Amino acid sequence: MAFRFSRGLSCGAAALLLAFGTQAWARDLVIALKTEPSSMDPQYHALTPNTQISQTLFNSLVETDEKLQPKPALAESWTVDGKVWTFKLRPNVKFADGSPFTAEDVVFSYDRIPKVPNSPSPFTLYLGSVAKTEAVDPMTVRITTKELAPNLLVNLAQLPIMSKKAASGPAPEGKTTTELNSGDGLVGTGPYKFVSWKRGAELVFARNENYWGPKPTWDKVIYRPMTNAAARVAALLAGDVDMIEDPPTDDLSKLKADKKLFVEETPSVRVVYVALDQFAEPSPGVKGTDKNPMKDKRVRQALSLALNRDAIVERVMGGVAQPAGNLLPYPMFGASKEHAKAAKPDVEKAKALLKEAGYPNGFEITLGAPSGRYVNDAKVAQAIASMWTRIGVKTNVDAMAPPVFFKNRDSYSFSAYLAGWSVTSGEMSNALTSLLVTRNPEAGLGTTNRGRYSNPAMDALVKEASGTMDDAKRAALLQKASNLAMDDYAMLPVHFELSVWAMKNDVRYKGRPDQITLAQNATLKK
């Protein structure tokens, strides 16, 4: 834990202040991250490691609380009249460089999103319902949606507001991702401001003295990427870091018993799933056949029936997970009773389905997976490979560092891959729209649908739900849509993660179901 005297104090003054207790000390927070962000550009990659960093530097019009419900942020209030939403902005807010925040910054930020090139998971997902954003006056923003948009607030919570003054530039998007990665133009209204980023080593933020909200606890926040879980634990035990993400499940009992430490566990809305290529012909990584087996529903069902999800949760995840039968746990919004429980494995039926589909001798496949992005991700992939091999689908695992994995995933290099999705809105439309709706990134649809699944009937239900303001009717539409997808084995949910953080005993962090680590929410134990 880093302690130091505040700047400008003489030795005598510092000694005098010491007599009044520890208020004289400024304190830094050092966090070991399981995954380094891929960019500092807050609009480049819709990925949790990036989102949690950008939400420390930037604010959105609205934010979500620990229950994923929207609350005021840069917008102090709002009204809705059909397709027209009017947001009154919070007065007297300044960016970290001291410049005033106005409606023009909101318009600039939303206008920039579709212009960011080469985005692996574009933020257009959250702007899909927006037709027009206007600055009515310096403190009023009007958003007109294409249709009625019941999810607008939770979507806007994912869109950080950048400074038009700082982030403008000659490129179509203004400051480029490369420039923002160096800190050039990286100016927000959030509780902290950017200091430096040494890839693979350290990311440093300092308290934003212009922040409009409560003064953050920490003088500086230092993030250290440590993809190896054992290394994160070792750093915590040695006192080199104050808090770590996702300690190994095997170490939890030991960490909980250590009186110098505190462990926080929170149920999450992150589903870990297997996506299957249902487009390419032939599919990369498939051997033993000239066809793409995953296009056949019987093969997809066989691969699902081969999975013993309870065993994965117990033996691989150490109980720190829940078997998944859908993309969102029941009874959350849009999740259905029909798929509330994960299907039981049935090896013999799986073999029979493969034979019926024309693969009596199975085939060979490669399962792509990140190593260090999700809890025990490579181990889960190995367990799945073993289960698939038992039914005759010989499976090789290709596990790699997360940045390499996502690059390969986004270039469609896998016939099957293991990944995760955090349903940040807390309702089914988020998962379906991103993961399974027919891919159309320009319209914000299917932005992470890398299996290229397409089901027009499901698409129509999701579209209808997106314009239904009545909650009960919208929930019913989403339940029907998710049932269609799960009955079609569009992708294979495996489990829902349990979010875990470990920290020094004098630090407290209240976990969030979206698994985001927000340094500004970490406090000293009272």
26 band by pLDDT with thresholds 50, 70 and 90: low
Reduced to 3 states (helix: H, G, I; strand: E, B; else coil), residue 490 is: coil
Same domain, yes or no: 135 and 192: yes
- Cα–Cα distance measured from residue 213 to residue 206, given in angstroms and rounded to the nearest whole number: 15
CATH number of domain containing 108: 3.40.190.10
Write the DSSP string, 65-128.
-TTS-EEESSEEEEEEETTEEEEEEPTT-B-TTSPBP-HHHHHHHHHHGGG-TT-SS-GGGGGT
Separation CA 196–CA 117 (nearest Å): 24
Domain count, the chain: 2
Quick one: residue 98, left, alpha or beta (phi over 0 = left, psi -120 to 50 = alpha)? Answer: left
Q: Of 107, 112, 108, which Cα lies nearest the Cα of 122?
A: 112
Q: Is residue 418 assigned to a domain?
A: yes
Q: Are residues 143 and 289 in the same domain?
A: no
The H or E element containing residue 50 is: helix 48-57
Handedness of CA 169, 170, 173, 176 (dihedral sign): negative
Q: What is the residue range of 52's domain? A: 28-227
Q: What is the rounded CA–CA span in Å between residue 247 and residue 254?
A: 11
Rounded Cα distance, 273 and 505, in Å: 34
pLDDT for 125 beyond 60: yes
pLDDT, mean over the chain: 92
Strand ranges, E, within 329-431: 363-370, 393-400, 416-422
Which of 520, 488, 523 lies closest to 503 in space, CA to CA? Answer: 523
Per DSSP, 36 falls in state: -
Does 218 share its domain with 274?
no
Are 186 and 77 contained in the same domain? Answer: yes
> Could you tell me if residue 246 is inside a domain?
no
Burial (Cβ within 10 Å: 0-12, 13-18, ≥19) of residue 22: exposed
Which of 204, 227, 250 is the last residue before a domain boundary?
Answer: 227
Q: How confident is the model at residue 424 (pLDDT cuts 50, 70, 90)?
A: low
376 within 8 A of 405, measured Cβ to Cβ: no
Q: Which of 23, 506, 226 is nearest to 522 (CA)?
A: 506
Sequence-ordered alpha helix ranges (H) in 9-47: 11-18
Residue with tokens 């807390």: 426
Do residues 247 and 500 touch, judged by C-beta distance below 8 A? yes
User: Do 300 and 168 have their domain in common?
Assistant: no
> C-alpha 5: how far from its chain's center?
37
**Has residue 23 got a pLDDT over 90?**
no
- Which band of pLDDT confidence, cut at 50, 70 and 90, is reported for residue 452? very high
Amino acid at 56: T
Domain contains 74: yes
**Is the pTM value of this prediction over 0.75?**
no
In a domain, 250, yes or no: no
- 219 and 311 in a single domain? The answer is no
pLDDT at residue 6 in the model: 34
Mean pLDDT value of segment 129-139: 97
Stronger pLDDT, 29 or 20, i.e. the higher one: 29
151 or 72: which leads in pLDDT: 72
Torsion-angle region of residue 239: left (phi > 0), alpha (psi -120 to 50) or beta?
left
- Tell me whether residue 133 is in a domain: yes
For residues 153 and 294, state if they share a domain: no
Which residues 6+ apart lie within 8 Å of 185 measured at CB? 162, 163, 166, 167, 168, 169, 174, 175, 179
Secondary structure (3-state) at 184: coil
Residues 6+ apart with CB under 8 A from 244: 31, 32, 226, 232, 233, 235, 236, 501, 502, 503
162, 105 Cβ separation under 8 angstroms? yes
Residue 505 in any domain: the answer is no
- For 240, how many CA atoms within 13 A lie in the half-sphere containing its CB? 12
pLDDT tens by residue, 47-102:
889 999 999 999 999 998 877 788 999 999 999 999 999 999 999 999 999 999 99
- What pLDDT sits at residue 16? 38
CA distance 518 to 53: 8
Query: Is pLDDT of 1 > 60?
Result: no
Cβ atoms within 10 Å, residue 473: 12
Does the pLDDT at position 240 exceed 80?
yes
Query: In this structure, is residue 522 part of a structural domain?
Result: no
Asked if the structure places residue 394 within a domain, the reply is yes
Longest alpha-carbon distance in the chain: 85
Same domain, 413 and 274: yes
CATH of the domain at 473: 3.10.105.10
Instruction: Please tell me the predicted confidence (pLDDT) of residue 8.
Output: 37
State yes or no: pLDDT of 12 exceeds 60. no
Tell me which of 227, 247, 276 is where a domain ends: 227
Q: Is the pLDDT of residue 327 over 60?
A: yes
* Residues 353 and 464 reside in one and the same domain: yes
Pair (424, 299) in one structural domain: yes
